[in-house]
């Protein structure tokens, strides 16, 4: 009899949790707002701008907006409101909407959500930002914080995000609110029961997109409200399963990345799940994270990578881009990146770009660069090495020789295969130098 009693209580609790869901509200954002999120006939959701259906064709980043508009993108996201006026104005000029981030301090960085002075100051900054930009015509959605859920068990963080969302909605009923989260299993559960003032939940998810969608759709403990994938793309460097002996992750080449994001979009975002109202590819621009090419859709010098053309095909509903070669490898002394590449200081190394397709190498130019492993965007310029000092052959050809005259430590050789004025195929290989 006691087991039956607990079983009944268990199902009552599940029923209660099912009622604590944003999807059960009559509306997710003000039906009279300029931007709203409405229910659809297939029990999903849809954004409407000025009463017209709007599909987010998005990119995470705030540079190269003219290029974004040219290939069919219509939305960007930011992580903070720095330079917000300039970004919003440039977006409006290019017909692009902005999911404007308002930075919230994270417990990981030392923020104490039990500190009343901290909370007061952060609220003042948030509300000042909302008042300043709420009438801008390029504004689409407010994004309250990015990955603030570093400690999913800190209920004060959830309560504060929910409080801010409620106040922001009163201050600006014309624009929905969201927050960007890491999709831990318990994060999705807490988002369901604690973030009831938000109009949508956003997730940053890369190699785990399939797992995130599965968690969202798990009965009772999932999340059936509106969802935005605020960052997606190739797998993160922290997710890499193939690494060197010194723990440097092996990176896909540019063409592999183009194929991967095309397949990933078709599998998960091509109108497959009605509660997903948008997604934003990461990263629209140049970003040093893990390596300088890992996420970058543009090179440091503004050239477009195959990921750019993959997104162009996706947004314009065209067939996959045909590349002049199917794959790229960068060999050092005829060894691949999966081999252990360790050299003595002063050793001569022969680097060679290879493909599995015959191509006219004279149609391309080649840029070579060495950087220490793990350089951050703050220290990139400090650590960048002038590779001309080690160049032994003309960079108009896909091979060269260089002397490893470097201090002991991990490095990475980058090769950029440049076609015309704009396209750059990328490939790199990590190696280690011993003194």
Residues 169 and 50 in one domain: yes
Residues 213 and 336 in one domain: no
Within a domain: 160:
yes
CATH code for position 160: 3.20.20.80
Residue 164 CB-density burial (10 A; 0-12 exposed, 13-18 middle, 19+ buried): buried
Q: Which of 232, 252, 282 is the last residue of a domain?
A: 232
Q: Which of 178, 213, 232 is the last residue of a domain?
A: 232
Q: Which residues of the chain have pLDDT under 70?
A: 1-32, 358-359, 375-395
Residues 44 and 171 in one domain: yes
Concatenated DSSP letters of 236-272: PGGG-S-B-TT-PBPPPPHHHHHHHHHHHHHHHTSS-
Within a domain: 373:
yes
pLDDT at 357: 74
- Tokens for 24? 């059960």
Q: Which domain, by its residues, includes 384? A: 329-434
Q: Which of 170, 202, 232 is the last residue of a domain?
A: 232
Within a domain: 317:
no
Within a domain: 202:
yes
User: What does DSSP say about strands 139-146 and 97-102: parallel, antiparallel, or unpaired?
Assistant: parallel
CA distance 239 to 332: 25
Residues 199 and 336 in one domain: no
pLDDT digits (tens, 9 = 90+) for 270-290: 888 999 999 999 999 999 898
Residues 79 and 198 in one domain: yes
pLDDT at 250: 96
Within a domain: 404:
yes
Per the structure, the count of domains in the chain is: 2
pLDDT at 32: 65
CATH code for position 340: 2.60.40.1930
Within a domain: 294:
no
Residues 47 and 160 in one domain: yes
């Amino acid at each position: 009899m006691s087991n039956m009693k607990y079983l009944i209580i268990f199902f009552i609790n599940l029923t209660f949790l099912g009622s604590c869901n944003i999807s059960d509200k009559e509306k997710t954002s003000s039906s009279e707002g300029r931007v709203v999120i409405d229910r659809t006939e297939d029990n999903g959701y849809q954004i409407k701008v000025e009463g017209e259906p709007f599909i987010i064709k998005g990119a995470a980043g705030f540079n190269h907006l003219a290029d974004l508009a040219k290939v069919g993108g219509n939305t960007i996201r930011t992580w903070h409101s720095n330079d917000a006026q300039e970004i919003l104005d440039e977006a409006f000029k290019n017909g692009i909407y902005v999911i404007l981030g308002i930075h919230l301090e994270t417990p990981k960085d030392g923020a104490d959500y039990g500190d009343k002075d901290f909370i007061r100051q952060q609220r003042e900054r948030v509300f000042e930002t909302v008042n300043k930009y709420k009438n801008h015509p390029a504004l689409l959605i407010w994004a309250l914080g990015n990955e603030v859920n570093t400690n999913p068990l800190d209920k004060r963080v959830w309560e504060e995000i929910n409080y801010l969302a409620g106040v922001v909605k009163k201050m600006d009923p014309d624009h929905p609110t969201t927050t960007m989260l890491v999709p831990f299993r318990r994060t999705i559960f807490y988002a369901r029961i604690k973030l009831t003032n938000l109009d949508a939940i956003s997730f940053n998810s890369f190699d785990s997109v399939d797992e995130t969608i599965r968690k969202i759709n798990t009965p009772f403990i999932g999340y059936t409200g509106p969802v935005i994938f605020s960052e997606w793309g190739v797998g993160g460097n922290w997710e890499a399963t193939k690494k060197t002996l010194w723990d440097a992750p092996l990176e896909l080449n540019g063409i592999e990345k183009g194929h991967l994001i095309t397949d990933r979009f078709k599998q998960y975002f091509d109108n497959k799940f009605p509660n997903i109202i948008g997604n934003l590819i990461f990263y629209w621009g140049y970003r040093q994270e893990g390596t300088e090419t890992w996420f970058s859709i543009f090179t440091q010098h503004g050239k477009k990578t195959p990921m750019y053309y993959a997104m162009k095909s996706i947004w314009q509903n065209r067939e996959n881009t045909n590349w002049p070669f199917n794959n790229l490898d960068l060999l050092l002394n005829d060894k691949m990146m999966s081999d252990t590449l360790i050299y003595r200081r002063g050793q001569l190394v022969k680097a060679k770009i290879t493909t599995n397709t015959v191509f006219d190498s004279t149609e391309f130019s080649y840029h070579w660069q060495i950087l220490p492993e793990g350089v951050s965007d703050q220290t990139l310029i400090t650590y960048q090495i002038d590779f001309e000092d080690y160049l032994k052959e003309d960079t108009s050809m896909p091979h060269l020789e260089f002397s490893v005259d470097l201090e002991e430590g991990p490095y990475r050789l980058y090769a950029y295969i440049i076609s015309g004025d704009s396209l750059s195929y990328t490939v790199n290989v990590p190696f280690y130098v011993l003194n």
